[in-house]
């Protein structure tokens, strides 16, 4: 237990350092509106402003079963620089909103605003009981904003939490990327949403002339996870969206060597990072209850010896992944990851008859 806590503290310290090194950027931030209705999401009549584009990522982030809607505003005539296919650069003035609902009750709406060069502002708004508007949440967030299940509360994140997640990723904007907006959508994507009729896709952005340079290949060969196995495609897509924003080869946790973020710019035939860095790989974090030499990030054929299985299934502070934004286990995802691991040909790690008791009893 002592080692696991130390590993958690190291990751936490790295996250705090990310925020601290960029804090000066926000010392003189433009004023954030007190009410959501004043942020530009709505027009003067209180309706959604038609200048904001609806979008729906094919691999949604799990947030305890919350329903979500998302919009992006791009200044007129502006373009997204996609020279780096994996790190899109958004024009100054870009705004994005993500709205969270439980049982059709709007709870919060988060906003990201590219206010100036090298200056991104994060804000969260808490909806009132009348569902008529949402007020700016305090910097420290709101711990118990909505009861999801008895004893389980949804928390509105602090602005520092928002910065930690978004600025630990190579791309500050999450969920709006070539893979996420691809027209070749994964029909089995977990918690997949039916895109609104007006939702913008990758080809839609291309046809609107909102990408530079133009990427005709997005029309002829839409991005997708590099595998022909439908279960693996869904599993790696889920890991990319839910884990890859921290675990990638360009962020502060790159030294761990665990890369789960899909790389659209990879050469043809390249293995997915989540395959290359997890299968039969020894990680720093060991699965409790089994011999350390048998613990793997992914032990082919043996979910119980796979730290990936354990950490997605756990909702303990010292072991759960993701560490923020969720208090309820994504049981469907655990089943999917287990199925993917079970389908991998055993390599010898953990195949000596050890049962799954150790991992499952610790959840």
Residue 324 has pLDDT above 90, yes or no: no
**What are the residues whose beta carbons fall under 8 Å from the beta carbon of 228, sequence distance 6 or more?**
none
Maximum CA extent, the chain? 67
Token digits for 166? 């978004």
Confidence of residue 22 (pLDDT cuts 50, 70, 90): very low
Q: Please report the pLDDT score of residue 24 as a whole number.
A: 39
Percent of the chain with pLDDT over 90: 77
Mean pLDDT of 85-105: 97
Confidence of residue 158 (pLDDT cuts 50, 70, 90): very high
Confidence of residue 176 (pLDDT cuts 50, 70, 90): very high
CA-based nearest residue to 324, from 4, 1, 8: 8
Instruction: Tell me the pairing of strands 67-73 and 95-102.
Output: antiparallel
Mean pLDDT of 92-112: 97
Distances 132 to 5, 95, 102 between C-alpha atoms, Å: 43, 21, 16
Q: Please report the pLDDT score of residue 348 as a whole number.
A: 58
Mean pLDDT of 196-217: 93
Residue 18 has pLDDT above 80, yes or no: no
Residue 101 has pLDDT above 90, yes or no: yes
Q: What is the pLDDT of residues 47-69, one digit of tens each?
A: 999 999 999 999 999 999 999 99
Residue 359 has pLDDT above 50, yes or no: no
Q: Please report the pLDDT score of residue 28 as a whole number.
A: 52
Q: Which one is predicted more confidently, 14 or 344? A: 344
CA-based nearest residue to 172, from 129, 223, 118, 125: 118
Buried b or exposed e, range 227-236, using 16+ CB within 10 angstroms: beeeebbbbb
Buried b or exposed e, range 108-131, using 16+ CB within 10 angstroms: bbbbbbbbeeeebbbbbbbbeeee
- Do residues 148 and 328 make contact, with C-beta atoms less than 8 angstroms apart? yes
Token digits for 95? 């705004």
The length of the chain in residues reads 363
What region, left, alpha or beta, does residue 71 occupy, with left being phi > 0 and alpha being psi -120 to 50 degrees?
Answer: beta
Q: Which one is predicted more confidently, 215 or 225? A: 225
Which residues of the chain form beta strands (DSSP E)? 53-55, 67-73, 80-81, 95-102, 105-116, 119-127, 134-136, 142-149, 152-156, 211-212
Q: What is the pLDDT of residues 208-222, one digit of tens each?
A: 999 999 988 888 999
Give CA–CA dist 75/79, Å, rounded. 8
Q: Please report the pLDDT score of residue 346 as a whole number.
A: 84
């Amino acid at each position: 237990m002592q080692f696991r806590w130390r590993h958690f503290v190291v990751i936490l310290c790295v996250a705090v350092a990310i925020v601290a090194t960029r804090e000066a950027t926000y010392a003189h931030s433009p004023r954030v509106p007190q009410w959501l209705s004043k942020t530009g999401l709505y027009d003067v009549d209180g309706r959604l402003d038609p200048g904001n584009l609806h979008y729906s990522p094919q691999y949604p982030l799990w947030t305890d079963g919350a329903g979500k809607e998302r919009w992006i505003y791009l200044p007129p005539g502006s373009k997204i620089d996609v020279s780096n296919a994996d790190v899109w650069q958004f024009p100054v003035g870009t705004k994005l909103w993500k709205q969270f609902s439980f049982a059709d009750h709007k709870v919060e709406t988060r906003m990201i605003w590219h206010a100036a060069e090298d200056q991104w502002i994060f804000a969260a708004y808490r909806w009132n009981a009348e569902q008529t508007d949402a007020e700016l949440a305090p910097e420290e967030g709101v711990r118990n904003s909505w009861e999801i299940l008895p004893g389980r509360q949804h928390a509105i994140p602090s602005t520092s939490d928002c910065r930690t997640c978004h600025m630990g990723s190579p791309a500050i904007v999450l969920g709006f990327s070539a893979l996420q907006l691809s027209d070749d959508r994964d029909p089995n994507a977990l918690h997949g949403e039916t895109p609104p009729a007006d939702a913008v896709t990758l080809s839609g952005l291309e046809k609107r002339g909102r990408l530079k340079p133009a990427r005709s290949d997005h029309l002829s060969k839409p991005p997708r996870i590099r595998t022909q196995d439908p279960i693996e495609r869904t599993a790696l897509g889920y890991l990319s969206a839910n884990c890859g924003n921290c675990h990638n080869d360009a962020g502060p946790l790159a030294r761990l060597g665990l890369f789960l973020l899909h790389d659209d710019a990879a050469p043809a035939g390249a293995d997915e990072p989540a395959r290359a860095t997890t299968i039969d790989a020894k990680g720093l974090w060991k699965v409790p209850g089994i011999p350390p030499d048998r613990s793997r990030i992914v032990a082919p054929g043996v979910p119980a010896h796979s730290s990936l299985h354990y950490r997605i299934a756990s909702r303990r502070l010292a072991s759960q992944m993701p560490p923020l934004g969720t208090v309820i286990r994504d049981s469907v995802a655990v089943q999917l990851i287990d199925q993917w691991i079970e389908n991998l040909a055993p390599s010898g790690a953990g195949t000596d008859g050890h049962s799954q008791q150790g991992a499952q009893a610790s959840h």
